[in-house]
Amino acid sequence: MTLRSGADYLASLRDSRDIWLRPHQFNDGTSPAVAEEKLNTVS
């Protein structure tokens, strides 16, 4: 794997819808999308 293909792979992971929707341990088991909605309703 070259540096460029590695960077492309990491960018695709970052932008992946799956990562945005799956639960995360640092959000008390909620997905980032749900955690962001909670922040938007408070402010």
Instruction: Give mean pLDDT in consecutive 10-residue pieces for the chain, a chain of 43 residues.
Output: 83 76 80 82 65
Amino acid at 16: S
Does the predicted TM-score (pTM) go above 0.75? no
Domain boundaries, the chain: 12-42
Give yes or no for a contact between 21 and 33, defined as CB atoms under 8 angstroms apart: yes
What's the pLDDT score for residue 16?
Answer: 74
pLDDT of residue 38: 83
pLDDT score at 4: 82
Q: Is 24 exposed, middle or buried (0-12, 13-18, 19+ CB in 10 A)?
A: middle
